[in-house]
Structure 1
């Protein structure tokens, strides 16, 4: 996939390798932190919701800061700083079990962030820099293939990381997370800096404002729908099916692996069906499976349902990223991604807070609320992008 990149091949590889290491850490941290609060610290669902909700509230702010400043001061520099925050957050988990430090660590590391590890993993605020750098290095007609490559590689590493939750000692897991996240940071130092800069005086001026607004609306609906359920899956498997931490890690790791390999087909399906048709079909079926999840008896069938709706929900992600990069000006790509992420994460944090209380009373209710929100998301993709997708090279 990267053979045609010419002089940018090295940078593409470094971006992908950095994502691989970061997502490897994300694979087990996203599972372990929730289980750590539930099994080791004996937090209630509302208390866990407050931690994950705080992380979701901090994420939009971090996304905006990193996205806007990366277009002005350099995407490589801001990516190094962003990766470093995950290092500091794992240090906090190692140092103390204080509720307030866990909240701060979750805010800096975005633990429990709705969206899963394939879509960005722990610390989703690095996505604006990663995506903008990748889009800059990739030929326009090959962007979807490059985004698919990065997503597949990141997803596979996430799934491998999730299997590490078979290690029973949380401190050991956090220590491994510290080392791996530090490696992800060091790799970025060898990437050549972005040549596309935006004047500081124009940081809040957007030539692509109309298109950014469209992606913000769909992002908001997606964030709310996922925030209601996604951060809680590791805890739900534990509380409802009473299985071991290791088996939970195996299930979530396998689901991430299935999802990662499904992304390999995104470029082909995008060319065959078109972006809007692809997202309508895959997310429509995914939403149906999500609504069925709380009514499925037994861990085997529940796991199969989880595998399917996770893979289908994420299948269109590389095409969506490519479309957005093609619809905004080059020196606003970091800002566009950050605004899109912020618009997704603010409603997501509200959903996560609310779901903590809903789950305390009803296992089914958060899923039933999530279904119509996800369906509206599909409707708006059709309204906003059916004409625009014809103008963009994927």
Structure 2
């Protein structure tokens, strides 16, 4: 390796670390938001149906921003649009902190996933390992995020999340981007694979029915406060973080597709059992196990997707998958919230289990022969 090659390797390793840190620190937000946002909106006077509608709007707007920014990022460089995306989220969190609930609509942090994923794929020497490490650190940090309502008022958690996004933005700004796009192109040579992967949108619809408002479900079913629910989310995320580290080893043993399918099947069975639990502690245990099995293969799936999509299409390809997933997912919180409003706390779980089952079968049939 010459001097130039050594220099490139050092830069690549540095940028890998920066990107992993920039993606991982968001775990604090993800850990708190699922618990905090629905209950904070409730404190602002919104009912369950309106809370579901607002969260649905956030997902839908974020999805469209994702495809726009990712298409522009593939053409003109991903770094600058990842920074713009986070800047918009900072404004959204500020509006939320100022008690303007509709600020949630432009908290679009998730819509930058295609951009940062493509940047990490560009820089990574071992994408599976880096994805797994990023997911694991993010999930460990989400444990802390889940515990915040025990010590900090919901409103000030919103303010803390604003500063976390600012940290993520700062880390991305330090990255040296090597990718050169060159032209705006809405075509996808990988369109066929993207459409197959988009079958996962059924998971999006199912997940949207319950996951964004699961803290509200615990509150309505067991009359538990955010502080009482908080440790359950923290334990769940902690166990998930550990299991995520082992997912690459499981993948090497079983193969990526079988690993994803087998863990999803266990997660679906637990999902069916969750609404049938007649105590808070039993429901909490099932919730923790379901979260682990359903999500431990997240980095494996992300790596699988990035390896199926050509280098110059990764940001918009992944974002198109996210868009097709998020459109039905965005309707989920409204439907789930409305059913909760009517007093039906079980049906959303059973609908989700059916959708997960169809999606898992489809994924296996489409990709069982992919090595």
Unpaired runs of 5+ residues, structure 2, are 1-8
CA RMSD of aligned residues (A): 1.6
2:53 corresponds in structure 1 to 50
State the distance in 1 between where 2:34 and 2:347 align.
Answer: 23
Instruction: Supply the distance in 2 between the matched residues of 1:377 and 1:275 (Cα, whole angstroms).
Output: 16
Instruction: Tell me the matched-pair count.
Output: 363
State the distance in 2 between where 1:345 and 1:171 align: 27
Confirm or deny: 8 A CA contact 1:59 1:124 kept in the other structure: yes
Q: Residue 119 of structure 2 aligns with which residue?
A: 133
Question: Separation in 2 of the partners of 1:85 and 1:31?
Answer: 22
Q: Does the 8 A contact of 1:49 with 1:353 survive in 2?
A: yes
Q: How does 1:90-239 map to 2 (within 5 A)?
A: 90-95=93-98, 97=99, 101-103=100-102, 105-110=103-108, 123-139=109-125, 142-200=126-184, 203-218=185-200, 220-239=201-220
* Separation (CA, whole Å) in 1 of partners of 2:226 and 2:70: 35
Q: Contact 2:41–2:101 (CA<8 Å) still a contact in 1?
A: no
Report the CA distance between 1:6 and its aligned residue: 5.1
Residue 63 of structure 2 corresponds to which residue in structure 1?
Answer: 60
Q: Give the drift of 1:51.
A: 0.9
Say if 1:196 and 1:159 are closer, same or farther in 2 by CA, change over 3 A: farther
How far did 1:23 drift? 2.2
Structure 1 segment 268-307 matched on structure 2, within 5 A:
268-307=249-288
* CA apart distance, 1:64: 0.7
- Distance, in Å, in 2 between the alignment partners of 1:276 and 1:67 is 26
The answer to whether the Cα contact below 8 Å between 2:76 and 2:180 also exists between their aligned partners in 1 is no
Q: How far did 1:59 drift?
A: 2.1
Equivalence for 2:84: 81
Mapped to 2, the partners of 1:11 and 1:285 lie a distance apart of 37
Q: Deviations over 1:1-37 (max 9, x none)?
A: xxxx754111111111112322213322332121112
Contact 1:149–1:264 under 8 Å retained in 2: yes
1:331 matched to 2:312? The reply is yes
Structure 1 residue ranges without an equivalent (≥5): 111-122
Cα distance in 2 for partners of 1:244, 1:227 equals: 22
For residues 327-360 of structure 1, give each alpha carbon's deviation from its aligned partner in whole angstroms, at most 9, with x where no partner exists.
1110100011100100110010122221122222
Check whether the contact 1:8–1:138 (CA below 8 A) recurs between aligned residues.
yes
- Secondary structure in structure 2 of the residue aligned to 1:228: helix
Q: TM-score, normalising length from structure 2?
A: 0.94
Structure-to-structure mapping, 1:365-384, within 5 angstroms: 365-384=347-366
CA distance in 1: counterparts of 2:70 and 2:237, whole angstroms: 26
Which residue matches 1:386?
Answer: 368
Distance in 2 of aligned mates of 1:135 and 1:164? 32
For residue 196 of structure 1, report the CA deviation from its aligned partner.
4.2
Aligned partners of 1:24 and 1:158 also within 8 Å: yes
Choose from 16, 23, 30 the match for 2:27. Answer: 23
